[in-house]
Amino acid sequence: MSIATAETREYTRMMWRKRLRDWRSPRLGLARVIGSVSLELFESQGDVHVDVLRHHGLIDAMAIYDLGCGCGRTAQALQRAGWQGSYTGADILAPLVRELRRTCPGYTALVNRNYTIIAPDDSLDMLFHWSVFTHLTPEQCMLYMRESFRALKPGGKLVFSFLELEDPAHRGIFQRRVKRIGANGREGVLDSFLHRDWIRFFAEECGFTAPEFTDGDDAAHHPAFWQSLVAMSKPAA
């Protein structure tokens, strides 16, 4: 039940291409790997992540899990915000995990290429991931959601972002992929889109409560995230 080796290789190639462009600034090179074109954007995006988590109930002393933690965009923001608790991050790329360990020595960061959450049953207060399901198939998403349900405490919450074709702002990604595949015959890293009905189905199959969605341009409770957001809970015992 491992993430495909070819997929991992593609991410690794992308990572080193972007790092080589920024060889004078290794931190910027790593930030570019996860979609931040500047260190200022890297930090501001992380701060928005923390705002989203706080809106969904993050408080001190919680045990939280950052799936697809990258080089620590959210982890570093949690440190800047003064959050105190038990943080575990996991990613498929070892260089990114090493950077998180370097910048956030009090946190746990793990390399994991399986469709698993490295946590005991009923042990996490909150599990979150940003732009992870945007690079996975629906079947892979379902596997991670099952694992998330297992690892969350009763009453624990799952929060994640996703792309959807119903959002006009997200359609450009799809249209650009169609153009590149038409021109090149292939595309590298997968960009995938989920329908809200699929997420409702996944949630029901796993046992979660009904999902609550936030549009990508909704700034009512925190800065707009751009990607759509969804939150759901494991029913309390």
| Tokens of residue 232, six digits | 């759901």
10-residue mean pLDDT series, the chain (237 residues): 61 59 70 78 95 98 97 97 98 92 97 96 98 94 98 98 97 92 82 96 98 98 97 94
User: What is residue 32's predicted lDDT score, i.e. its pLDDT?
Assistant: 74
User: What is residue 30's predicted lDDT score, i.e. its pLDDT?
Assistant: 78
Q: Are 156 and 233 in contact (CB under 8 A)?
A: yes
Q: How many residues does the chain have?
A: 237
Q: Which domains does the chain possess? A: 48-233 (3.40.50.150)
User: What is residue 178's predicted lDDT score, i.e. its pLDDT?
Assistant: 93
For residues 29 and 19, give the distance between their C-alpha atoms in angstroms, rounded to a whole number.
4
For residues 108 and 130, give the distance between their C-alpha atoms in angstroms, rounded to a whole number.
18
User: What is residue 25's predicted lDDT score, i.e. its pLDDT?
Assistant: 74
| 17, 22, 26, 29 alpha-carbon torsion, rounded to 10° | -50
For residues 104 and 89, give the distance between their C-alpha atoms in angstroms, rounded to a whole number.
11
For residues 76 and 156, give the distance between their C-alpha atoms in angstroms, rounded to a whole number.
23
Closest to 44 measured CA to CA, from 74, 87, 14 = 74
User: What is residue 12's predicted lDDT score, i.e. its pLDDT?
Assistant: 62
